[in-house]
Structure 1
Amino acid sequence: MSIVIQEFKCRNCGGKLDVTPETIMVVCSYCGTPNWFVEATEDIMVVPSMGRDDIVKSFLTRISEDFDLKRIADKIQIVEVRGVYIPFYFFSIKVEGFYEGWKTERVVETVGRRTQVKTRRKRVSESFSSILKIPVLARRSAEDFSLKELSSHYNYSNPPSIPIGDIKDFKNLKMSFLRSEIGVEEASVIARDDAGDMMLRKVSSKVDELTKFVCNTKIVEKSKLTLLPYWYIIYSYGNAQYRVAYAGWDCHLLLAQEPVMAYHRVGYILGAVSGCLISALGLTFTFVGGLNPIYSLFSLAAGCVVSWFFGGKVVEDVRIEGG
């Protein structure tokens, strides 16, 4: 059995092209001509991106202004700067329905030196109607670092987009394009499901026991396949590497990984110890000072939560900061 290797060449000069199964378009390294590997480029929108130098400048500015990073600026080395276009669909979903459930109310009543906590159950019912903005990543598998923040920032900033065929300066763009793996029909189903799940979570937070939930979803607006520019910088400090992600259209910081310094760990340890003290003081005042047991249980729970939160951070090597 013979193996056939297909070779792709530039439509303009015949130069060899490096093509992968994900390729939407590749720019010829010899003549700069864009070569398309999708049939209908008019159905693909793209948000124009700032250049590589702008992203690096934004990162260096952050180092000089950040309280933690500027202290180690001379030890930070940029390892890689890469830009890639990520495919998304964006939907406006109208959700309508109603829910029923039970809400528990706790009332503290004090008579003399005696305090009682009474619990009451109240039946609640409410209808809802709203428009939700739902992004759908048009990839079945992709790195999830800051992609949610990328789509959220797009919805917030609403940058202009143009047909991908209108981009002229592909050679200087220096970005790769990821092919979509999900069609608009499948994305529509995902968007409606996500909208329903979002409303279910919102409704569930309003009651202690949800007994009935009815939700109808309808797509009122959907975008063409939209490619968002996503840049990330990998930098090193010591023996570790960290990542910083940016939205390409305005150099907005999405998420940043930063090293945990010694003074961070000291703060985390003090936080964990303070949680233990809160619990201990609550128990002490209960058995020695006659504090109501209700407040003792509250202080015990609060102290455990504080200790758990800071105790987990003591062993972490990476901090995550948002833009």
Structure 2
Amino acid sequence: MVIIEVFKCEHCGAPLDVTPEDIIIVCPYCGYPNAYDRVFTEKNVFFVESLPKKEILRRFHERVQKDPDYRGIRGKIKVVKVEGYYVPLWLGIVGGRGNMRYIIYEKEGNNTKAVVKFKKFEMESLVCVPARRNVYDLAVEELALKFERYGYLSFKRIEDTLKYIMDVRPIGSLTPEKWESLELAFLNADFGKQYAKMALSDRASDVAKERRVPEDVELKFFKFEGDVKEIALVFYPLWKVYYDVEGGTYFVAYDGHYGKEVLAVEPVRLWRKIHYALVSLIGIAIAGFSLAIYGNFTYWEALVHAGKGGSVLFILPAIGTYFGFELARGYGKKVARDVRVER
């Protein structure tokens, strides 16, 4: 005889669909967060309390009044939805060693030579990955990047690191009554500790490359091997205010604990498009002028008599052409966009 254990909601008794990696299961019938896999007895599972909805709305309206992008359309802005939830984030202290090989180009008289450089380094840092692998959310990714900026402040214990950057509280301290009083829903975490360690290790390698590889070099080889020393799961509040204006829907995402903006997707006003178009035209002018130099007979005559400085004189128009083209291309794309992402 096979006995199938049915996991039921602690609040309403409804059956819950549970997988071995689930940590918090939100009841689809009553919305109550249920603990699974001993989450309330784990030492390194935390939550951070959120500001109330009315405070987030107040900050949004304050933004509308102060931001020049909303000038002339403030009366047309209509809030259509305010959405808040606790985002599960895995944070870990990862330490390890790496090495790289890259090429730099050095001037030697009139010639340029390629020099191969080798470099070894050690790094210990705080890294963060969203605990929802099946759902991509730009605001959540930006929230995770925000915490990684404190990476150099990692203490020996991850709890001490977290307490330095946020007001964490052990999830085990929550009573059922406290769960019900929380204004935001808890999103399910898609994966547990083992997968989290692999994800944090991969992310640590990316962070090491971003921080350790010198700028303007040609990277040939990079390797970082890190050990995840300690990890924690943090349920962090995130709010989104959705609003309609001039036929489009946009949103501003807020750090639910501090009330600071995480990300804003807003309309591109006509004056901004004009600004982008003017900069794009300037780029075209720079590229055209620089390219035209190569067709000037006087330029080539000056190049012949330039001597050692001839190589620099030859390269400068090429640099100007490239810079002008990139300027025109980048701002030309912005002209065609109807939304702007502000971090």
CA separation in 2, counterparts of 1:150 and 1:84? 13
Give the CA deviation at 1:26.
5.5
Per-residue CA deviations over 1:94-123 (Å, capped at 9, x if unaligned) read: 12132233322246x6xxxxxx5x211112
8 Å contact from structure 2 (residues 33, 186) kept in 1:
no
CA separation in 2, counterparts of 1:28 and 1:307? 54
Distance 1:144 1:204, change over 3 A: farther
Query: Which residue type is aligned with residue 248 of structure 1?
Result: G
Look up the match of 2:288.
Answer: 280
Normalising by structure 2, we get a TM-score of 0.78
Per-residue CA deviations over 1:20-58 (Å, capped at 9, x if unaligned) read: 7786345997xxx96625252233311111111111111
From 265, 268, 276, the equivalent of 2:273 is: 265
Per-residue CA deviations over 1:55-109 (Å, capped at 9, x if unaligned) read: 11111111111111243211100000011111111011112132233322246x6
**229-238 or 64-73: which moved more?**
64-73
From 187, 212, 215, the equivalent of 2:196 is: 187
Partner of 1:91, secondary structure, is: strand
Per-residue CA deviations over 1:249-295 (Å, capped at 9, x if unaligned) read: 01110000111111111111111111111012213344335173321
Normalising by structure 1, we get a TM-score of 0.82
5 Å-filtered alignment, 1:60-79, equals 60-79=61-80
Per-residue CA deviations over 1:183-222 (Å, capped at 9, x if unaligned) read: 1111101111222233345437563242x54432112232
8 Å contact from structure 1 (residues 42, 163) kept in 2:
no
Give the CA deviation at 1:243.
1.2
CA separation in 1, counterparts of 2:35 and 2:228? 30
5 Å-filtered alignment, 1:131-150, equals 131-150=124-143
CA separation in 2, counterparts of 1:35 and 1:214? 41
Distance 1:204 1:86, change over 3 A: same
> Is 1:174 aligned to residue 183 of structure 2?
yes
Partner of 1:181, secondary structure, is: coil
8 Å contact from structure 1 (residues 28, 35) kept in 2:
no
For structure 2, the 5+ residue unaligned runs are: 1-5, 151-163, 303-312
> Is 1:203 aligned to residue 213 of structure 2?
yes
Look up the match of 1:112.
Answer: none
CA separation in 2, counterparts of 1:17 and 1:56? 34
Look up the match of 2:170.
Answer: 163
Partner of 1:226, secondary structure, is: strand
8 Å contact from structure 2 (residues 253, 261) kept in 1:
yes
More helix by share: 2
> Is 1:42 aligned to residue 49 of structure 2?
no
CA separation in 2, counterparts of 1:81 and 1:7? 32
RMSD after superposition? 2.9
5 Å-filtered alignment, 1:88-167, equals 88-106=89-107, 116=110, 118-155=111-148, 156=150, 158-167=165-174
Give the CA deviation at 1:152.
3.0
Query: Which residue type is aligned with residue 208 of structure 1?
Result: E
Per-residue CA deviations over 1:225-264 (Å, capped at 9, x if unaligned) read: 2111111111000111001101110111000011111111
5 Å-filtered alignment, 1:2-21, equals 11=11
- Aligned residues with identical type, % of pairs: 24
CA separation in 2, counterparts of 1:122 and 1:190? 35
CA separation in 2, counterparts of 1:181 and 1:9? 19
Partner of 2:257, secondary structure, is: coil
8 Å contact from structure 2 (residues 128, 147) kept in 1:
no
Per-residue CA deviations over 1:119-150 (Å, capped at 9, x if unaligned) read: 11112122101112211221121232211221
